[in-house]
A and B are shown apart, each in its own frame.
Chain A
Amino acid sequence: MTSDTRTDTERSRTDGELAEQAVVPMPLVHGELPRWAPWAILVASLVVVGGILAATGNFGLGLTLVLGAVLYAVATYAVSRFVEGGRKATDRVVTIVVTVAFLIALIPLISVVVTVIQNGLARFDAAFFTNSMRGVVGEGGGGYHAIMGTLIITALAALMSIPIGILTAVYLVEYGKGRLARAITFFVDVMTGIPSIVAGLFAFAFFALFAGPGIRFGFGGAVALSILMIPVVVRSTEEMLKIVPNELREAAYALGTPKWRTILKVVIPTSIAGIASGVTLAIARVIGETAPLLIIAGLTTGVNLNPFSGRMTTLPVFAYNSYAAPGVPREPFIDRAWTSALVLIIIVLVLNLLARLVAKLFAPKTR
């Protein structure tokens, strides 16, 4: 805004003020709270709230923190508005709200991790990893059969999902045009939304047709998990293939390379890091599935390494069943449930770290 377009009100306002402000109409230095002020307000708010609560006999740590935070926000707004103006005050309050929300969200998440580690460590011993539950009624026993079941079923699911998923993504990105591609994209989206228990019901409905309603076996679980895993693999691979620059494809075509070799030797190697880490995350996602396996893979106390015959326990089902239907005495069952949960978290953690490592190792080098 140049000076000649100023309105009368603005002019009269500056006229009324000091002469030097007419020279510098927009001061660069505003009133500003000193750096210690927010901390002082925070401490004061907590002390005031704590004091009032203690005086009325209602003192509690949680309540003090919650009400203290509210008072802190209100007081900050008031002080900041007085010293710094309304916009700055709003900014400060939002900062407080966001930070407090973050801290609140942190509480249950930390609590989950701490609880699992605390309760899980009780049975995190060699026996848990080497013994099954066959013939165990109280103490002892372990999750060996469940760990093996989880590994076998997840491996089978991965074996089915990864080739199908990656090939479908290749089709969608490199070949897919027209109605078929749109249909596949749409139905992959639909598949992403299938609740896991419905996937289990499907596997059951499918195999029960051939083997009768009593059917329970590991491979069925793998099929159910594949239905959950394939869309995740397709989506992540698709994203990765899409970010391979077209220029690389063109460079390969211009060298007289057929399309399929271009895909196999240029496109996929360029994006292999992302694909591999996406696949690893997909595995991490299905390895903790409980519901479908409860339905189609069933539950057993002994080790069963044959996925095509007989019930097969997996870790999440084992954890669930140990907790929901404990024997007498209860404690050893509960302990085993927590240890299973801990092992599951560790597996997921390792897979996540693996995904990052893979992404780093396979990424195209630039130096």
Chain B
Amino acid sequence: MSKAVTAKNLNIYYGSFLAVEGVDMEIKPKTVTALIGPSGCGKSTFLRSINRMHEVIPGARVEGKLELDGRDLYGSGVDPVGVRRQIGMVFQRPNPFPTMSIYENVIAGQRLNNKRAGKKATDELVERSLRGANLWNEVKDRLDKPGSSLSGGQQQRLCIARAIAVQPDVLLMDEPCSALDPISTLAIEDLINELKTDYTIVIVTHNMQQAARVSDFTGFFNIEGTGKPGHLVEMDETKTIFSQPKQKATEDYVSGRFG
């Protein structure tokens, strides 16, 4: 069920403002791809354009092509709602639904879309998803408690469980650890390593050590200056990016000489 994502000469606009320019990227199935770069370089915008979440902001649009296993995600007649069912997302700050219990949060994807399933099948789905998110043992005795009763790290894993419960092909993560303490971060990183056997994962991170630890491929985004569009400078295997990048800008950034 894991699929490839391909961007071809992708431009992303907010109204008339060109936010990201000319991205060509090949994301292979069952890999972890990290997107790094300074703040405001467009890596989050690019990530959100993959499941059309950036359209939440009015006036947002793209030019160029973005494909999921060869199918155009922005083709005519494509429903962004349908795209998001296949490409899940985990956000910067854990955001469990406050009106729902842990159990309900996991099956929120179904519940919100009014899909009915048998009690047994639902129970299995909840257990499978929570196990998949390494959270089952911690919450199995209190599934009826509100999601917001968990700690920050647990909440984030609950959100991951919620995202994988709809069985997406691709999982996008927008700085999933930036609001967490080091121990919770470690738990999430371990989880990412396990998840990549089933999913294509794209993760935006500000933490270069994290990118080096969890990813197979790394893309470096940069921006020339304020008001200029962000662009993909270089993308390669993570080892290569961190040891012998082709571009001077990449080397400066990963070695901390970014000015």
B-contacting residues of A (Cβ < 8 Å)? 177, 245-258, 261-262, 265-266, 269-270, 364-367
How far apart sit A254 and B56, CA to CA, in the bound complex (Å)?
11
Contacts beyond the supplied A247-B91, A251-B96, A254-B163: 7 A-B pairs with Cβ under 8 Å: A248-B95, A248-B97, A251-B159, A252-B112, A261-B112, A367-B145, A367-B146
Total number of B residues with any Cβ neighbor in A under 8 Å: 33
Q: Looking across the interface, which residue of chain A has its beta carbon closest to that of B51? A: A254
Give every chain A residue within 8 A of B148 (Cβ-Cβ).
Answer: 364, 366
18 inter-chain pairs at a CB distance below 8 angstroms, sorted by A residue, are A247-B91, A250-B53, A250-B56, A251-B96, A251-B162, A253-B53, A253-B81, A254-B84, A254-B163, A255-B85, A255-B88, A255-B109, A255-B112, A256-B166, A257-B112, A261-B113, A265-B111, A266-B112
Give every chain B residue within 8 A of A270 (Cβ-Cβ).
Answer: 97-99
Q: Which of B85, B97, B114 contacts A261 (CB 8 A)?
A: B114
Q: Check B53–A254 contact: CB distance below 8 A.
A: yes
Give every chain B residue within 8 A of A366 (Cβ-Cβ).
Answer: 98, 146, 148-149
Q: Check A251–B97 contact: CB distance below 8 A.
A: yes
Give every chain A residue within 8 A of B146 (Cβ-Cβ).
Answer: 364-367
Which among A249, A269, A364 has the highest number of chain B CB atoms within 10 Å?
A364
Give every chain B residue within 8 A of A247 (Cβ-Cβ).
Answer: 91, 93, 95
How far apart sit A139 and B97, CA to CA, in the bound complex (Å)?
60
Give every chain A residue within 8 A of B56 (Cβ-Cβ).
Answer: 246, 249-250, 253
Give every chain A residue within 8 A of B84 (Cβ-Cβ).
Answer: 253-257
Cβ-based interface call for B12 (8 A): no
Give residues of chain B (54-109) contacting chain A, Cβ–Cβ below 8 Å: 56, 58, 81-86, 88-89, 91, 93, 95-99, 108-109
Which among A253, A256, A269 has the highest number of chain B CB atoms within 10 Å?
A256
How far apart sit A177 and B112, CA to CA, in the bound complex (Å)?
25
In the complex, how many angstroms separate the beta carbon of B200 from the nearest chain A beta carbon?
16
Which among A251, A254, A261, A365 has the highest number of chain B CB atoms within 10 Å?
A254
In the complex, how many angstroms separate the beta carbon of B155 from the nearest chain A beta carbon?
11
Q: Check A265–B112 contact: CB distance below 8 A.
A: yes
How far apart sit A243 and B149, CA to CA, in the bound complex (Å)?
20
Q: Looking across the interface, which residue of chain B has its beta carbon closest to that of A252? A: B112
Indicate whether A250 sits within 8 Å of B162 (C-beta atoms), given known contacts A256-B81, A256-B109, A257-B113: no
In the complex, how many angstroms separate the beta carbon of A243 from the nearest chain B beta carbon?
12
Indicate whether A251 sits within 8 Å of B149 (C-beta atoms), given known contacts A256-B109, A257-B81, A261-B114: no
Q: Which of B96, B99, B163 contacts A255 (CB 8 A)?
A: B163
Give every chain A residue within 8 A of B85 (Cβ-Cβ).
Answer: 255-256
How far apart sit A131 and B85, CA to CA, in the bound complex (Å)?
63
Q: Check A255–B162 contact: CB distance below 8 A.
A: yes
Q: Looking across the interface, which residue of chain A has its beta carbon closest to that of B85? A: A256
Indicate whether A257 sits within 8 Å of B95 (C-beta atoms), given known contacts A177-B58, A249-B56, A367-B145: no
A-contacting residues of B (Cβ < 8 Å)? 51, 53, 56, 58, 81-86, 88-89, 91, 93, 95-99, 108-109, 111-114, 145-146, 148-149, 159, 162-163, 166
How far apart sit A248 and B99, CA to CA, in the bound complex (Å)?
11
Q: Looking across the interface, which residue of chain B has its beta carbon closest to that of A273? A: B99
How far apart sit A269 and B97, CA to CA, in the bound complex (Å)?
10
How far apart sit A250 and B57, CA to CA, in the bound complex (Å)?
11
Q: Looking across the interface, which residue of chain B has its beta carbon closest to that of A365? A: B146
How far apart sit A266 and B147, CA to CA, in the bound complex (Å)?
14
How far apart sit A270 and B159, CA to CA, in the bound complex (Å)?
17
Give every chain B residue within 8 A of A249 (Cβ-Cβ).
Answer: 56
How far apart sit A251 and B148, CA to CA, in the bound complex (Å)?
14
How far apart sit A247 and B53, CA to CA, in the bound complex (Å)?
12
How far apart sit A297 and B89, CA to CA, in the bound complex (Å)?
57
Give every chain A residue within 8 A of B86 (Cβ-Cβ).
Answer: 256
In the complex, how many angstroms separate the beta carbon of A147 from the nearest chain B beta carbon?
37
Give every chain A residue within 8 A of B149 (Cβ-Cβ).
Answer: 366-367
Q: Check B89–A252 contact: CB distance below 8 A.
A: no
How far apart sit A366 and B100, CA to CA, in the bound complex (Å)?
10
How far apart sit A252 and B145, CA to CA, in the bound complex (Å)?
20
Q: Which of B89, B99, B114 contacts A254 (CB 8 A)?
A: B89
In the complex, how many angstroms separate the beta carbon of B23 from the nearest chain A beta carbon?
21
How far apart sit A265 and B115, CA to CA, in the bound complex (Å)?
14
Q: Check B112–A250 contact: CB distance below 8 A.
A: no
Indicate whether A364 sits within 8 Å of B53 (C-beta atoms), given known contacts A247-B91, A253-B84, A254-B89: no
In the complex, how many angstroms separate the beta carbon of B204 from the nearest chain A beta carbon?
14
Indicate whether A256 sits within 8 Å of B95 (C-beta atoms), given known contacts A250-B53, A366-B146: no
How far apart sit A254 and B112, CA to CA, in the bound complex (Å)?
12
Q: Looking across the interface, which residue of chain A has its beta carbon closest to that of B90? A: A254
How far apart sit A355 and B231, CA to CA, in the bound complex (Å)?
53
In the complex, how many angstroms separate the beta carbon of B166 from the nearest chain A beta carbon?
6
Give every chain B residue within 8 A of A364 (Cβ-Cβ).
Answer: 98-99, 146, 148
Indicate whether A245 sits within 8 Å of B88 (C-beta atoms), given known contacts A253-B53, A255-B108: no
Which among B85, B95, B148 has the highest number of chain A CB atoms within 10 Å?
B95
How far apart sit A159 and B143, CA to CA, in the bound complex (Å)?
38
Q: Which of A251, A261, A269 contacts B91 (CB 8 A)?
A: A251
How far apart sit A251 and B53, CA to CA, in the bound complex (Å)?
10
How far apart sit A298 and B252, CA to CA, in the bound complex (Å)?
82
How far apart sit A177 and B56, CA to CA, in the bound complex (Å)?
13
Give every chain A residue within 8 A of B91 (Cβ-Cβ).
Answer: 247, 250-251, 254
In the complex, how many angstroms separate the beta carbon of A57 from the nearest chain B beta carbon?
69
